[in-house]
Amino acid sequence: MDAYAQIEQNRLDFLRFNQDKIRSEVYRGIIDTTIYGTDLSAVGRRFILPSSFKGGPREMWQLYQDAMAIVRHCGKPDLFITMTCNPLWPEIVRELWPGQTVQDRPELLVRVFKLKLYELIRDLTKRMILGRVIAFIYVIEFQKRGLPHAHILTILHSMDKPHTIDDIDSIVCAEIPSQDKVPELYDTVTSFMLHGPCGMAKANAPCMKDGKCSKGYPKSFSDETFSEVDGYPIYRRRNNGMTVHKHGHIFTNAHVVPYNPTLSWKYNCHINVEIATSITAVKYLFKYIYKGHDRASISIDKYERDRTQEIDEISEYLDSRYVSTLESCWRIFGFRMHQHSPAVTRLQLHLPDMQQIRFDPKIETLDHIIERADL
């Protein structure tokens, strides 16, 4: 973790001490300085964090725009899949040295998760387990000290989209499987796909907000699946008497997180599969997967902040920045933090006189910048 903190700080220091090479402003703003007589050194943002910096807000915004371009070209997404690492995978446990725990080997954990994730992407795109995928997007996320997980959005071919109730039931299940018929799937679902306890059973659970579960658990029982209810289907959750006794609590089908039986059986980890066919859910889903790092900060100034104070995007990025050992290993190894297909080509489009101009206030005058920009 200390090693990656130094790596990131060196990259930020390079950007801070090379602002003259990346400073820019729109043409209209340069013209305004000639009218109001503003000092050229005050034009543009003093310390900017360019989109080339991985994990910065500008890069996340551009990735969000790329994702929306894919939606405009290929259509709205069909499946929202979340995969979380299982620290007890046999590939991890068998490589531990005597006396070690998974917390002692973060580099081993992220390597195995990366291999499992890439296999899942191949299952979705090459083997077409859930249908022919014409476009996909995934983003890796690390929540505080939590395990790494991937948010995946897929757009299916028009012939494979889940149009009917039977299509939805063939992809998503929200019930406890039979322990006698599929014991391995039963163990996976009861270990990773049960939400809770929360509500009256545990009022201080992390999901509790204003006295209620923010995820809506336990869900209501339903004998059949209903589509298009507030942008998401209501999955079949029959009150068939299936229960699981775990940690002193009783779980039923109302506590099951939606999953795909084939994927859960193969990967033996938390894989939440949701049908997201409503257009109202598109922007929420894409903004959710590109929301960036969790952070919380507060600033109390004795005096009102000067409106002309220069903006330091580098310091804003570092404020409340949280780096865990797992994220550090993932980034040091150079593993992908995101990927999308098909590729997106970004075009520089702007309104009249709103083109970006790069300049060096130490060696260029206003007249020279305007003359150069007009060419």
Question: How many angstroms separate the CA atoms of 89 and 20, rounded?
Answer: 49
Q: What is the pLDDT of residue 59?
A: 85
Residues 106, 121, single domain; the answer is yes
Of 344, 230, 214, which Cα lies nearest the Cα of 277? 230
Please indicate, yes or no, whether residues 152 and 281 belong to a single structural domain of this protein: yes
**pLDDT score, position 53:** 85
Residue closest to 267 by CA, chosen among 339, 189, 326: 189
| pLDDT for position 278 | 63
Same domain, 58 and 131: yes
- What range does the domain containing 137 cover? 51-161+277-291+307-342
Whether 206 is in a domain gets the answer: yes
- For residue 81, list its beta bridge partners: 152, 273
CA distances from 356 to 16, 156, 248, 375 (A): 20, 38, 62, 14
- Determine, yes or no, domain membership for 299: no
The reported pTM is 0.84
Strand 208-209 vs strand 79-84: parallel, antiparallel, or unpaired?
unpaired
Q: Are residues 338 and 369 in the same domain?
A: no
- Do 65 and 81 sit in the same domain of this protein? yes
Evaluate whether residue 272 is within a structural domain: no
Residues 36 and 80 in one domain: no
- Please count the structural domains in the chain: 3
Same domain, 282 and 332: yes
pLDDT in 10s for each residue of the chain, 375 residues = 899 999 999 999 988 888 766 655 444 555 555 555 555 555 555 677 778 888 888 888 888 889 889 989 998 889 999 999 999 999 999 999 999 999 999 999 999 999 999 999 999 999 999 999 999 999 898 876 678 999 999 999 999 999 899 999 999 999 999 999 999 999 999 999 999 888 888 888 888 888 889 888 999 999 999 876 556 789 999 999 999 998 888 999 999 999 999 999 999 999 999 998 666 566 666 777 777 665 555 555 544 444 445 677 788 888 777 888 999 999 999 999 989 999 999 887 766 665 666 666 666 666 776 666 655
Same domain, 136 and 282: yes
CA dist list (Å): 233 to 133, 168, 217, 278, 280: 21, 8, 15, 9, 13
Identify the DSSP state of 132.
-
Residue 267 lies in a domain: no
pLDDT at position 224 is 94
Rg of the chain's alpha carbons, rounded to an integer? 25
The counts of H helices and E strands in the chain are 13, 13
**List of residues 6+ apart from 253 with CB closer than 8 A:** 174, 175, 176, 221, 237, 238, 239, 240, 242
Work out whether strand 24-26 and strand 133-141 pair parallel, antiparallel, or are unpaired.
Answer: unpaired
- Return the pLDDT at 27: 46
- 269, part of any domain: no
pLDDT at residue 200 in the model: 80
**Does residue 153 share a domain with residue 67?**
yes
Q: Give yes or no: residues 320 and 372 share one domain.
A: no
Do both 225 and 141 map to the same domain? Answer: no
In a domain, 319, yes or no: yes
- Residue 302 counted as domain residue: no
318 lies in some domain: yes
- Looking at the structure, do residues 184 and 238 belong to the same domain, yes or no? yes
Q: Which of 164, 186, 135, 153 is nearest to 342 (CA)?
A: 135
